[in-house]
Amino acid sequence: MELRYSDADEAFRAELRAWLDRELPKLAPQPAREAWDERRTWDTDWQRRLFDGGYAGLHWPKEFGGRGASPTEQLIFYEETARARAPYVGVNFVGTLHAGPTLIEEGTDEQKAAHLPKILCGDEVWCQGFSEPNAGSDLASLRTRAERDGDDYVLNGQKIWCSFGQVADVGEFLVRTDPDAPKHKGISWLILPMDTPGIEIRPIVTVLGSSEFCEVFLNDVRVPVANRVGAEHDGWRVTNVTLKYERGTAFVSELVDAMRLCEDLAPRVLDPAERRELGRCAAEFDALWALTKRNVSQAARGTTGPGAMVIKLAYSEARQRFGELCLRVLDRDALHIDDNELVEERLRVLALTIAAGASQIQRNIISERVLGLPREPR
Ligand SMILES: Cc1cc2nc3c(=O)[nH]c(=O)nc-3n(C[C@H](O)[C@H](O)[C@H](O)COP(=O)(O)OP(=O)(O)OC[C@H]3O[C@@H](n4cnc5c(N)ncnc54)[C@H](O)[C@@H]3O)c2cc1C
């Protein structure tokens, strides 16, 4: 394991720091939570700045317009952007973090040319239409039908928990193309333009009072067969490519953010027992950051260890304990502080042990694939 940064890494850090110092003061104030059009504009403006600065698609290969950065440079990027309190990818997360990388691995040349440049510069926002009301953990049970009609598929069904669906231009959608095959074998992965007739989007309000998710209803939606990524009925394999990127990258910047919030909470924590608890949270986040570095160090050598499997579970549960501590420290203040990041923390982190694979599912994966325990009965 190599945890030290090289001279070249430190040069990258200095260049990035200087760029952030120049760009961040130019940003407009962040829009209100429910101002969706403004949020889209704000997030895509940041994406455009990253693109112009040479920092968009940091982990994408150079031949597809990315920076082709080493895993260590990616860690430095997360450290520095968190230190400078730079914006998160926001509504661009599906496109930049997993739809784009899936197209790079599995898309045709036409699909890559049509979408990758637009994702990188913030011109195209993507959403994910995987989950359905009865297909979340057991995603392969999805029932949205895609029937072949000439050069089109005709889609009928319902998706749910589609993050930022109301501002997306395009979606990565899973549909059932063969209802008679075993459930993992009859699925296809489609690129769905979200302005296609027959798509109805209904936002769902979360506990934070924000409508970040949507239900998506599909009624006789026609999608060209040319929008399929991978072979017909082979969508489960393509899905695993998407999930590899989704679970691999989504939590690193969150972890850096958690370390920052620990520092923000510290001056308010006066009770000795709560100070001990805060110390424990900070130590856990620190240990997870060291584990992230180890995972990155292994990935750079082309290997993976159990660390990559446990990090999502360990991080999401540690962050929930921290969220509970925030509320205890604020006590009654939590009731009358408006727009407080620490109150939001308690509510927002409830979702972390569900999103991108629930904790129970992560435990199943660890017990079966890392510990070699017997498989769950199917
Ligand atoms: C913040 C957030 C953003 C999301 N964004 C998107 C998005 O953009 N697009 C999208 O398609 N989806 C999205 N999702 C949906 C997410 O993928 C699902 O919520 C998740 O896969 C769990 O599915 P479910 O909600 O149907 O719960 P269920 O699968 O119904 O699970 C309910 C409970 O049962 C447990 N359980 C289920 N099966 C087992 C088992 N075999 N063994 C033990 N316990 C089990 C689960 O762990 C959980 O506690 C998002 C979710 C969240 C929270």
What atom in ligand 1 is closest to the CA of residue 361? 47
Query: Per-residue pLDDT tens for 267-290?
Result: 999 999 999 999 999 999 999 998
| pLDDT for 189 | 98
DSSP assignment of 61-130, as one string? -GGGTS----HHHHHHHHHHHHHTTPPP-GGGHIIIIIIHHHHHHH--HHHHHHHHHHHHHTS--EEEE-
| pLDDT for 243 | 85
Query: Per-residue pLDDT tens for 346-369?
Result: 888 889 999 888 999 989 989 998
| pLDDT for 75 | 87
| pLDDT for 82 | 84
Q: Which two tokens stand for residue 316?
A: 């999401």
Q: Which residue has the tokens 């598929």?
A: 153
CB atoms within 10 A of CB 244: 15
Pocket of ligand 1 contains residue 163 by CB under 6 Å: yes
Query: Per-residue pLDDT tens for 313-333?
Result: 999 999 999 999 998 998 887
Distance, CA 308 to ligand 1 centroid (Å)? 20
**Residue 167 pLDDT > 80:** yes
Query: Per-residue pLDDT tens for 190-200?
Result: 999 999 999 99
pLDDT over 70 for what percent of the chain? 97
| pLDDT for 250 | 63
What totals of helices (H) and strands (E) does the chain contain, helices first?
Answer: 13, 8
Helices 341-348 and 252-265, axial angle in degrees (round to 10):
140
Q: Any idea which of 75-79, 105-109, 110-114, 140-144 has the lowest mean pLDDT?
A: 75-79
**Residue 334 pLDDT > 70:** yes
Query: Per-residue pLDDT tens for 44-90?
Result: 999 999 999 999 999 899 999 999 998 889 889 988 998 898 998 89
Pocket of ligand 1 contains residue 211 by CB under 6 Å: no
Pocket of ligand 1 contains residue 137 by CB under 6 Å: yes
Pocket of ligand 1 contains residue 189 by CB under 6 Å: no
What atom in ligand 1 is closest to the CA of residue 351? 53
What atom in ligand 1 is closest to the CA of residue 165? 8
For range 136-148, the mean pLDDT: 96
Q: Whose CA is nearest to atom 44 of ligand 1?
A: 360
Would you say 187 and 239 are in contact if contact means Cβ atoms under 8 Å apart? yes
Pocket of ligand 1 contains residue 130 by CB under 6 Å: yes
**Residue 266 pLDDT > 90:** yes
Query: Per-residue pLDDT tens for 246-260?
Result: 766 567 778 888 998
Distance CA 190, CA 278 (A): 45
Pocket of ligand 1 contains residue 126 by CB under 6 Å: no
Q: Which two tokens stand for residue 249?
A: 């990258």
Confidence of residue 338 (pLDDT cuts 50, 70, 90): low
Would you say 15 and 67 are in contact if contact means Cβ atoms under 8 Å apart? no
More confident residue, 71 or 238: 238
DSSP assignment of 256-292, as one string? HHHHHHHHHHGGG--SHHHHHHHHHHHHHHHHHHHHH
Residue 246 annotated as catalytic: yes
Distance, CA 161 to ligand 1 centroid (Å)? 9
Query: Which of the following is catalytic: 246, 277, 284, 345?
Result: 246
pTM: 0.92
Q: Compute the mean pLDDT over every residue in the chain, rounded to the nearest whole number.
A: 92
What atom in ligand 1 is closest to the CA of residue 359? 47
Distance, CA 256 to ligand 1 centroid (Å)? 24
Pocket of ligand 1 contains residue 347 by CB under 6 Å: no
For range 172-179, the mean pLDDT: 98
